[in-house]
Structure 1
Amino acid sequence: SFFIFLSLIGFSYWYFAIRKKQNSQPSPEPSESPTPSASISPSISPSLSPQPTESINPAIPPIPVISVKEIKIINLSQESDFQKELSQAIKEIIVVGDNPEFFEILPKKNDQFLGIKDLFEGLELKLPENFLSSVSDKIEDFDFFIYTKKNLNQGFGFIVKEKEPLSSLLSSWEPTMPLDLSNLFTTMDKQATMTNTVFKQAKYADATFRYLSFKESGLGVCWSVYKNYLIITSSGEIMNKTIDLIQTKTNN
């Protein structure tokens, strides 16, 4: 019938015209998920990355055992003559003033400050068996220093806290101690000539120390165990000054 015919025409128009037009419209883009309010750090190019010799968290120098005028940090190369480089760096330290002063020498290698074990190994010192196990391996319990007066480097010494009693060990070490420590004198640019190997004993304040004098004036090997610290110095004057500083430290 006529109405059926009109219905077919209407359906065909809807199917081929309107429906396809609707399907051809692009589907809406999905809504973006909310981004965090914090900004995103840009990527760092390889050229801006820290070099192997740099430190993201550089080591902080420890507080010296005794009071010193200044801490001298010496940066050592990874591949170098340890003794030669340390010796040259110490020679280049400029000291000003006539008064006696202590300067702590703090070698640094691979971004780490060297403690007593690494320092003595680098200097190739000969140590008695059980020496290193009898002293503290904490860097804050160890000082390596030079002593200056009248604008000159007068000598050197080191202090380390003992873990085990050291007096008997040091006494048995005396016959070879000067030769065993010879690299230390060479590194510090001190010519040492032995005339004998017999240590003598002296007292200062409430301390006792042992000493061996060299041919050179004001130079020798002195050692003492005082208030749980082992002290080894290159002269009696430096030993006395060091004892004074330890006294001040322990009395405060």
Structure 2
Amino acid sequence: PEGVADSLQENLTLFVHKNAQNRSRLGFAIPLAENAHIEADLTAWEPDMERNFALFLSIQGQKDSFAVTFFRGTVYKGITVRFQTLSSQDLGLVYALLDNALVVTGSLESMKATIDEIQK
């Protein structure tokens, strides 16, 4: 969406996290150009994220719609994390604002590992 796109810089970092079940989960981080309204813009985008991230999720094994049709929030090491669960195999759509970047991963476990790595 335009509000989110306006807040992002053009470059991104793509990464892969292998989880405890030996499944690969993709993630990426995009630096923020500005973040005045990014949290509200991301929350407003949530109803359309599954459709917008269909390719990102299908690469990781998504075959059906999400098991949960809404986003939930949690806090991990002081970072607010928003997530929508696809399956019991730790596949979902997960995002957080971390060190002035938007970080998106394919699982909550990979987001936690990313936060751990950045906070070292």
TM-score by length of 1: 0.43
CA root-mean-square deviation: 1.9
Residues 192, 219 of structure 1: 8 Å contact kept: no
Q: Report Cα offsets for 1:145-191 as digits up to 9, x if no partner.
A: 111246944211111111121211111000110111001122x2412
| Residue 237 in structure 1 maps to residue 100 in structure 2 | no
Structure 1 consecutive aligned stretches of length 4 or more whose deviation exceeds 2 Å: 130-133, 149-154
* Distance in 2 of aligned mates of 1:241 and 1:150: 11
Could you tell me which residue of structure 2 aligns to residue 163 of structure 1? 33
Q: Percent identity?
A: 26
* Distance in structure 1 (CA, Å) of the matches to 2:104 and 2:13: 11
The 5-angstrom pairing of residues 23-62 of structure 1 reads none
Q: With CA pairs under 8 Å and 6+ residues apart, which has the higher RCO, 1 or 2?
A: 2
Partner of 1:148: 18
Deviations along 1:24-82, one digit per CA (max 9) or x if unpaired, are xxxxxxxxxxxxxxxxxxxxxxxxxxxxxxxxxxxxxxxxxxxxxxxxxxxxxxxxxxx
Conserved in 1, the CA contact under 8 Å of 2:28 and 2:105?
A: yes
Spell out the pairing of 1:46-125 with structure 2 (5 A cutoff): none
Instruction: Check whether the contact 1:135–1:163 (CA below 8 A) recurs between aligned residues.
Output: yes
Contact in 2 for aligned 1:213/1:221 (Cα 8 Å): yes
Q: Output the CA distance in 1 between the equivalents of 2:113 and 2:33.
A: 23
Structure 1 or 2, whichever has the larger Rg, is: 1
Aligned ranges 1:177-216 → 2 under 5 Å: 177-186=49-58, 188-193=59-64, 194-216=66-88
State the distance in 2 between where 1:149 and 1:221 align. 15
- Which ranges of structure 2 fall in alignment gaps of 5 or more residues? none
Cα distance change of structure 1 residues 204 and 179 upon mapping to structure 2, 3 Å threshold = same
Q: Would you tell me which structure has more strand in proportion to its own residues?
A: 2
Contact 2:25–2:60 (CA<8 Å) still a contact in 1?
A: no
Check whether the contact 1:144–1:159 (CA below 8 A) recurs between aligned residues. Answer: yes
In 2: Cα distance, 1:189 partner to 1:244 partner: 22
Aligned twin of 1:221: 93
SS at match of 1:212: strand
Gaps of 5+ in 1: 1-127
Indicate the SS of the match to 2:2: coil
The structure-2 alpha-carbon separation of the partners of 1:163 and 1:190, relative to structure 1 and needing over 3 Å to count, comes to same
